[in-house]
A and B are shown apart, each in its own frame.
Chain A
Amino acid sequence: MRLVNRQPERGARFLLMLLPFIVLVGVYFFGSTARLAGNPDDKLLPSASQMVAAIHHAALEEDGRSGEYILWADSAASLKRLGLGLAVAALLGLAMGTVTGVFPLARATFSPFMTALAMIPPLAVLPILFIVFGLDELSKVMLIVIGITPVLARDIEQRAREIPPEILIKAQTLGANSWTLVLRVVLPQLLSRLLLSLRLMLGSAWLFLISAEAISATAGLGYRIFLVRRYLAMDTILPYVIWITLLAWLMDFALKGANRLLFPWSEGART
């Protein structure tokens, strides 16, 4: 049988899914064991027990200086920034994208402007944000907002324009005015799309968050890994990276679930 036609069976599919993970973990610990055997003080590839000890210290012991459990304090600080940034960006992006997508007059005015704005590399304006909004929370949230709002808005605008004109005409023959047309016909369809776009933008949001935290913060997951980098503390960095990945995956999973629950009719619920 040709390779393009060969499908994995159900059990095999599960094993195939696990395979790359198992290989990665295996290669890692093989390398780790080998290096530690050569030099017990080697820091590059810490052993499992070293990492467990580091996690134990970060998650289950109070920090000597701050009296906090640093993993949880870091997670709370980061998630708060991320959540706030994503929420504001989602609202702004949805509002701008819908208005430019539905109203030709608004599109003529703002669409080229948004396209230009979206070209600005967000990290290049980070210094400006620090200068304008100060070094604390606001500038980090703003970086996320500035980084992903234009992309979200453009995506939503595109989706709004993809709504077949027949649908908009139909709504008018059913007695909709411009406002109720948006409220009852356009927005519900775009909300589902917004959740999908947010899922796709999660990676960028984390990127902006960690960048901002790396440069200026007193807590946060990004702050921590850049702080302990000075001591080559791979035993902390690696679990932190895995933890961040897990959080990102959980957020993606939650958004997907929300889409399926709230918008059972939609395309976005299936992808």
Chain B
Amino acid sequence: MSFIEIDNVWQEYGHHVVLERLSLNIAEGEFCTLVGASGCGKSTFLRLMLGQERPSRGRILLAGKALPGEPDPGRGVVFQRYSVFPHLNALDNVAIGLELPRAPVLGRLFGAKKRAAREEARQLLEKVGLGHNLDQYPAQLSGGMQQRLAIAQAFIMRPRVLLLDEPFGALDPGIRKDMHALLLTLWQETGLTVFMVTHDLAEGFNLGTRLLVFDKTRNDPQAPNAYGARVTYDIPLNADRQVARARIADIAALQPD
């Protein structure tokens, strides 16, 4: 049994078929990069994985169970924009992820618990290179720093699945490279399963352990919306990286925590 099973999933909006006959099996710890023409349904696929929408047909299983029908802490997400809270500084943007699940009434922690949450958030921010920007609001951070913050925010939850929708689309190539290194490091350490949409084919090939190409297999020029996209190429990549990651996981398992 695979970690994620996508079983003949369709997504339609009225008469507009966006995804059709989508079937995939994804192992835990896989880094899937998703590419495809604009408008072919990559974001739609992520919305389905996130639980923001439900498939019109078919089903998605996560660890053998039906995927929860709304977003939850088990699945993290980073969008291209609007991923961080504008009214919180960098430290609180990350610490809030530790506060919310533990404080269902007030949504915040106090005293020693709050200090502990902030300390944990600070360590993660240092790791993503924002150790000197703890007090700054997102509007004061550059685009690259905001995405680092969004990644830290997602990782503090230790999700099993991470969904990224063109997270580096608005960044310049140099900063993009740094972000790739950061993302790979975190992925190798945590062993989570990643789905990342990108328009940059090189990025897709470099980062992923599996490249999924979304495209339409049937096309009716009279009715462009009659047929949806499916995965036309499913290419395993960077096998060495996956082996290395598995080894890191083994070593981590041997070490008493």
Contact = CB atoms under 8 A, between A and B. Distances in A.
Interface of A: 164, 166-167, 169-177, 179-180, 183-185, 188-189, 192, 263-266
A173 B72 contact: yes
Nearest to B162: A173
Interface in B92-119: 96-97, 99-101, 103-108
A224 B108 CA distance: 50
A170 B87 contact: no
B50 A185 contact: no
Contacts of A176: 100, 107
B73 A173 contact: yes
Contact of A174 (B87, B97, B137): B97
Contacts of B83: 166, 170
Contacts of B138: 265
Interface stretch (B9-17, B74-82, B204-212, B228-236): B74-82
Interface of B: 50, 52, 70-73, 75-77, 79, 81-87, 96-97, 99-101, 103-108, 137-139, 153-154, 157, 159
Q: Is the interface of B mostly helix, strand, loop or mixed?
A: loop
A263 B88 CA distance: 10
B51 to A, nearest CB: 9
B155 to A, nearest CB: 11
A185 B83 CA distance: 12
Contacts of B108: 184
Contact of A169 (B50, B100, B103, B104): B50
B225 to A, nearest CB: 23
A175 B139 contact: no
The residue among A169, A170, A180 with the most chain B CB atoms within 10 A of its own CB is A170
Given A174-B100, A175-B100, A176-B107, A189 B73 contact: no
Contacts of B50: 169, 173
